């Protein structure tokens, strides 16, 4: 049962066997917004033997960094790209995209989590890193900002025909499909994009609503919606437009009356979710993407739904580059209390956070760049 906004291990939602027990959410379907399947409940999340995380797209690259073993993590750097020719280089852009490969016994699973901001970065880097999209078992989108989904439709347009027939796309809630906006202090707004549900339907992608914790392809799990139980708060400047126009947008019936009817309102990111693995003899590896709802809230939700308190690594965009210094310090102190083995800031984490982690959590900071591949576990 739901307790304080989290799920016990017994109630953990399992999506790996989705095909046999799908649930259609009537409100979305009735309004012609495409079909949802909701993940059925099942047992606790699995333990995997090994996890490799390839950073397909991030803000920056350092081609001079050498591969090394940091503690018990293998860190492989992409270095200079010399082949097939010098005219093709890693593309770094403001955004995030990952390729995840996990192993449990003799079974391997592949995931793409977020897709960078453009076709240019996502597709070129997938090719340069020799990632076989035909082997991908599931797609996962963390939230509905263009810097995380921009490469999704171009990927499907290029590779859908060779990908698995029943390819699922996990999102954390209806708001994944809302029009998003960034707003400057002077009130000027710029679009942060919208994911076309009809285009996804056209690509025969199976939409899975993981608004509660769910196992993905038998090896990963998503946190589901993340309760807000700490000092953290969604930082200003992000807005959401609730409703449908031009054949895209989100179903207003999922939102409060105040948020409905085409209004552009403060974005609470109700459906932002994180992807996680429980790695044997190591603990949780938690992959956040933008952490609008707070990286501490995210970690606590991953611990609560999995029953695993040990955090091996937390990585991703922590959305602290625009946060006040005392807020960043509070976050670092809370991280120190959680005591992960490693902290790997990316994308929107910010230099202040990175420097504070280096000083406050000695030996735990690992730098990440576009192309870096981290291997966790034996």
Binding site for Fe ion (CB under 5 A): 145, 147, 290
Judged by beta carbon, residue 57 or residue 290, the one nearer Fe ion is 290
Q: Which is nearer to Fe ion, 145 or 268 (CB)?
A: 145
Decide whether 54 or 148 has the Cβ nearer to Fe ion: 148
Instruction: Tell the smallest beta-carbon distance from residue 320 to Fe ion (Å).
Output: 12
Quote the least distance from Cβ 114 to Fe ion, whole Å: 8
CA distance 295 to 311: 13
Q: Residue 315's Cα: distance from chain center in Å? A: 10
What distance, in Å, lies between the first and last C-alpha atoms of the chain?
A: 35
User: What is the closest distance, in whole angstroms, from the C-beta atom of residue 66 to Fe ion in the complex?
Assistant: 28
Closest CB to Fe ion among 116 and 340? 116
Residue corresponding to tokens 């109700």: 270
| Distance (Å, whole) CA 100 – CA 112 | 6
The residue (of 290 and 356) whose beta carbon lies closer to Fe ion is 290
The residue with its CB nearest to Fe ion is 290
Shortest reach from residue 117's CB to Fe ion, in Å: 9
Alpha carbon 201 to chain centroid distance? 21
Q: Quick one: which of 177, 212, 193, 152 has its CA closest to 14? A: 212
> Measured from the CB of residue 94, what is the shortest distance to Fe ion in angstroms?
8
Rounded to an integer, what distance in angstroms lies between the CA atom of residue 302 and that of residue 307?
8
Minimum CB separation from Fe ion for residue 290, in Å? 3
> Shortest approach of Fe ion to residue 192 CB, angstroms?
7
Of the pair 145, 206, the CB lying nearest Fe ion is at: 145
Helix (H, G, I), strand (E, B) or coil at 261: coil
Residue 183 host element (H or E) = strand 179-183
User: β-strand 220-222 against 275-279: which pairing, if any?
Assistant: antiparallel
Beta carbon of residue 35, minimum distance to Fe ion (angstroms, whole number): 26
On the CB side of 287, how many CA atoms lie within 13 Å of its CA?
29
Answer for the pair 192, 83: CB distance below 8 angstroms, yes or no: no
Distance CA 373, CA 129 (A): 10
As a whole number of angstroms, the longest Cα–Cα distance in the chain is 56
Contact of 275 with 113, CB cutoff 8 Å: yes
Closest to Fe ion by CB, 147 vs 174, is: 147
Nearer to Fe ion, 138 or 290 (CB): 290
């Amino acid at each position: 049962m739901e307790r304080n906004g989290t799920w016990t291990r017994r109630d953990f939602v399992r999506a790996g066997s989705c095909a046999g027990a799908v649930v259609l959410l009537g409100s979305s379907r009735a309004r012609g917004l495409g079909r949802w399947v909701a993940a059925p409940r099942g047992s606790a999340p699995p333990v995997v033997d090994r996890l490799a995380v390839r950073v397909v797209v991030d803000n920056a690259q350092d081609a001079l960094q050498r591969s090394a073993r940091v503690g018990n993590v293998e860190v492989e750097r992409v270095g200079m790209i010399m082949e097939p020719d010098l005219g093709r280089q890693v593309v770094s852009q403001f955004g995030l995209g990952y390729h995840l490969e996990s192993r449990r016994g003799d079974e391997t699973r592949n995931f793409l989590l977020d897709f960078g901001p453009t076709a240019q970065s996502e597709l070129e880097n997938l090719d340069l890193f020799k990632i076989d999209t035909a082997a991908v078992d599931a797609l996962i989108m963390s939230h509905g900002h263009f810097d995380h989904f921009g490469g999704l439709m171009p990927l499907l347009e290029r590779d859908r025909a060779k990908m698995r027939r029943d390819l699922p796309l996990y999102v954390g809630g209806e708001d994944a499909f809302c029009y998003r906006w960034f707003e400057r202090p002077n009130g000027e707004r710029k679009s942060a994009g919208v994911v076309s549900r009809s285009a996804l339907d056209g690509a025969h992608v199976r939409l899975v609503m993981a608004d509660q914790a769910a196992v993905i392809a038998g090896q990963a799990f998503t946190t589901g919606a993340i309760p807000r139980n700490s000092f953290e708060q969604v930082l200003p400047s992000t807005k959401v437009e609730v409703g449908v126009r031009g054949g895209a947008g989100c179903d207003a019936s999922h939102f409060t009356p105040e948020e409905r009817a085409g209004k552009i309102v403060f974005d609470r990111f109700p459906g932002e979710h994180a992807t996680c693995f429980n790695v044997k003899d190591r603990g949780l590896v938690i992959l956040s993407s933008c952490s609008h709802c707070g990286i501490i809230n995210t970690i606590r939700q991953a611990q609560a739904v999995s029953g695993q308190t040990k955090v091996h690594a937390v990585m991703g965009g922590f959305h602290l580059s625009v946060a006040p210094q005392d807020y960043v310090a509070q976050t670092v102190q809370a991280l120190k209390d959680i005591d992960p083995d490693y902290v790997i800031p990316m994308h929107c984490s910010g230099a202040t956070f990175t420097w504070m982690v280096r000083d406050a959590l000695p030996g735990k900071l690992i730098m990440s760049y576009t192309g870096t591949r981290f291997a966790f576990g034996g």
